[in-house]
């Protein structure tokens, strides 16, 4: 069965791009446009991997990450942070909370991001 | 400050025009007025003191009123300084906000182009590929410009902290040369690297030094017209490590040389055949090197090439 990836990101343009890309790569993508919906879908769908933006409406990405990692049922799901914030303090804060890796949007191509996703899902 | 700049400070007409504030709020003008009042009042107090020698309260009253005038003027000066500082801070903050806001749409744009070009959504025609390439190159250029602007605004608001550690400068340069190899090959440029043996470890912020070397290396390759050679040397000099990069590119015209480290400046001969680049690279290099306690400079001859150098202290 196709692996499920939950993409929590408020930019609908990116939701579309990643939707097409991940479907092409053989994954099933579930999208959430805000933190609250994201958290609900984490519980409901139990994805294999989560792509998480940090600046989000309703509940921000830092909080979403914390809640995912506090919950026994969801704490083992790998989370990739995908954001435009690039301050060291943000990187440290999310890695301490248990994020698997931190990617600054402007520094990666889609191909590189897909490669990261593949590597993480392979190790799982 | 030499005598020429001191004299220029006195030319408050052009100075105040530069700040774009009215005369009564212009620090240079107010300082001049205050100076004249002080000199005048000393002379006048002397005269009045001689005249009313038997009535000291008149002299005291006069001095007191002069002091009050001076107090008001210095208050206005302080206020106008505050205003100018505030404007400068707002400018840097504005750049920072704008650049941050530009980043999201730019990522969306470049990823959408990448996906289209990958052919995953359907085959694209030869003719279309050319235009997609233009889109891709230009979004990459915008990304670079935005990130340069962010660095500048951080440097100017002093919010780019340096994490100083000891590190191997030689390894850093080797790694960067490797990264630039494809770009150099595509531009028909050979990179040669010479390092003095037993070079001590450098002391500074490696991620910031990396920015400097990247900028200089990029310039050296970019401004070689047909084919050429870039020579990089590392050696010990006094209490510093001396980095030097020589190219046989287009060089910098003599009249442009004194402006080369200014923000947004691009030499005339470069603009003729190449419009890429933000004009911020060398400004960033200078700001970083000086912040880390080093010096930067160059010598250049038009159509012969340029040699840029900088120093970084070691421990």
Spatial contact of A120 and A103, defined as CB atoms under 8 Å apart: no
Average pLDDT, integer, range B69-82: 84
Average pLDDT, integer, range B152-171: 82
- DSSP string computed for A17-62: HHHHHHHHTT-EEEEESSHHHHHHHHHHH--SEEEE-SS-SSS-HH
Contact yes or no for B103 and A110 at CB 8 A = no
Q: Residue B152 pLDDT > 80, yes or no? A: yes
Q: pLDDT value at position B272?
A: 67
Distance from CA of B211 to the nearest CA of A (A): 15
Average pLDDT, integer, range A3-22: 94
Q: pLDDT value at position B210?
A: 92
Q: pLDDT value at position B1?
A: 47
Q: pLDDT value at position B232?
A: 94
Give pLDDT tens digits for B293-303: 899 999 999 88
Distance from CA of A18 to the nearest CA of B (A): 9
Q: pLDDT value at position B227?
A: 84
Percent of residues, chain B, with pLDDT higher than 70? 92
Q: pLDDT value at position B198?
A: 86
Q: What would the two tokens of residue B177 be?
A: 């040369």
pLDDT band at A76 (very low <50, low <70, confident <90, very high): very high
Q: Residue A24 pLDDT > 80, yes or no? A: yes
Contact yes or no for B106 and A106 at CB 8 A = yes
Q: Residue B7 pLDDT > 70, yes or no? A: no
Q: pLDDT value at position B307?
A: 94
B179 reaches A (C-beta below 8 A):
no
CA B46 to the chain's CA centroid: 51
Quick count: other Cβ atoms within 10 Å of Cβ A119?
A: 11
Q: pLDDT value at position A110?
A: 92
Mean pLDDT across chain B? 85
Tokens 């435009």, residue located: A84
Give pLDDT tens digits for A38-71: 999 999 999 999 999 998 998 999 999 999 999 9
Q: Residue B5 pLDDT > 70, yes or no? A: no
Average pLDDT, integer, range B61-87: 84
Single pTM value for the model: 0.67
Contact yes or no for A105 and B118 at CB 8 A = no
CA distance A67 to B27: 55
B122: Cα within 13 Å, side-chain hemisphere: 2
Q: Which residue of B has its CA nearest to A9?
A: B104
Contact yes or no for A17 and B112 at CB 8 A = yes
Tokens 């609900």, residue located: A40
Q: Residue B215 pLDDT > 80, yes or no? A: yes
Contacts of A20 in chain B (CB under 8 A): 115, 120-121
CA distance B136 to B134: 5
Contact yes or no for A106 and B111 at CB 8 A = no
Tokens 């993409």, residue located: A7
Q: Residue B195 pLDDT > 50, yes or no? A: yes
Give pLDDT tens digits for B239-260: 889 999 999 988 888 888 888 8
The more confidently predicted of residues B282 and B30 is B282
The more confidently predicted of residues A64 and B83 is A64
Average pLDDT, integer, range B126-135: 90
- DSSP string computed for B36-92: HHHHHHHHHHHHHHHHTTT-HHHHHHHHHHHHHHHHHHHHHHHHHHHHHHHHHHHHH
Interface residue of A7, A10, A13 to substitute, partner B, most B CBs within 10 Å: A13
Give pLDDT tens digits for A84-122: 887 788 899 999 999 999 999 888 999 999 999 999 998
Spatial contact of B196 and B235, defined as CB atoms under 8 Å apart: yes
Q: pLDDT value at position B10?
A: 62
Q: pLDDT value at position A40?
A: 95
Contact yes or no for A17 and B118 at CB 8 A = no
The helix/strand/coil state of B229 is: strand
pLDDT band at B275 (very low <50, low <70, confident <90, very high): low
């Amino acid at each position: 069965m196709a692996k499920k990836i939950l993409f929590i990101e408020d930019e609908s343009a990116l939701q579309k791009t990643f939707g097409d890309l991940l479907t092409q790569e053989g994954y099933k993508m579930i999208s959430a446009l805000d933190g609250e919906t994201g958290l609900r879908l984490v519980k409901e769908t139990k994805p294999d991997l989560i792509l998480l933006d940090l600046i989000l409406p309703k509940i921000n990405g830092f909080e979403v990450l914390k809640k995912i990692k506090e919950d026994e049922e969801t704490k083992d799901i790998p989370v990739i942070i995908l954001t435009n914030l690039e301050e060291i303090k943000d990187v440290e804060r999310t890695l301490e909370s248990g994020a698997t890796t931190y990617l600054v949007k402007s520094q990666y191509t889609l191909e590189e991001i897909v490669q990261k996703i593949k590597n993480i899902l392979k190790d799982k | 400050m030499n005598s020429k700049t001191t004299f220029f400070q006195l030319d408050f007409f052009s100075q105040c025009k530069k700040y774009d504030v009215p005369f009564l709020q212009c620090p240079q003008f107010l300082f001049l007025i205050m100076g004249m009042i002080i000199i005048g009042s000393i002379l006048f107090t002397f005269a009045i003191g001689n005249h009313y020698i038997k009535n000291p309260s008149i002299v005291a009253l006069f001095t007191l009123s002069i002091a009050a005038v001076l107090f008001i003027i210095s208050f206005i000066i302080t206020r106008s300084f505050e205003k100018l500082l505030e404007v400068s801070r707002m400018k840097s903050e504005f750049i920072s906000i704008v650049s941050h806001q530009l980043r999201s749409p730019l990522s969306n744009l470049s990823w959408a182009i990448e996906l289209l070009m990958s052919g995953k959504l359907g085959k694209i025609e030869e003719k279309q590929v050319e235009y997609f390439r233009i889109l891709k190159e230009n979004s990459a250029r915008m990304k670079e410009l935005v990130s340069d602007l962010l660095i500048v605004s951080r440097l100017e608001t002093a919010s780019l902290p340096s994490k100083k550690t000891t590190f191997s400068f030689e390894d850093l340069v080797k790694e960067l040369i490797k990264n630039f190899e494809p770009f150099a090959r595509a531009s028909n440029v050979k990179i040669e690297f010479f390092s003095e043996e037993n070079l001590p470890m450098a002391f500074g912020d490696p991620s910031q030094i990396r920015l400097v070397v990247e900028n200089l290396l990029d310039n050296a390759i970019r401004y070689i017209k047909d084919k050429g050679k870039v020579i990089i040397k590392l050696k010990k000099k006094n209490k510093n490590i001396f980095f030097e990069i020589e190219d046989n590119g287009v060089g910098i015209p003599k009249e442009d040389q004194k402006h080369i480290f200014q923000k947004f400046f691009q030499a005339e001969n470069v603009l003729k055949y190449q419009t890429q680049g933000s004009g911020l690279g060398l400004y960033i290099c200078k700001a970083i090197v000086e912040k880390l306690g080093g010096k930067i400079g160059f010598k250049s001859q038009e159509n012969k090439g340029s040699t840029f150098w900088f120093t970084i202290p070691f421990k």
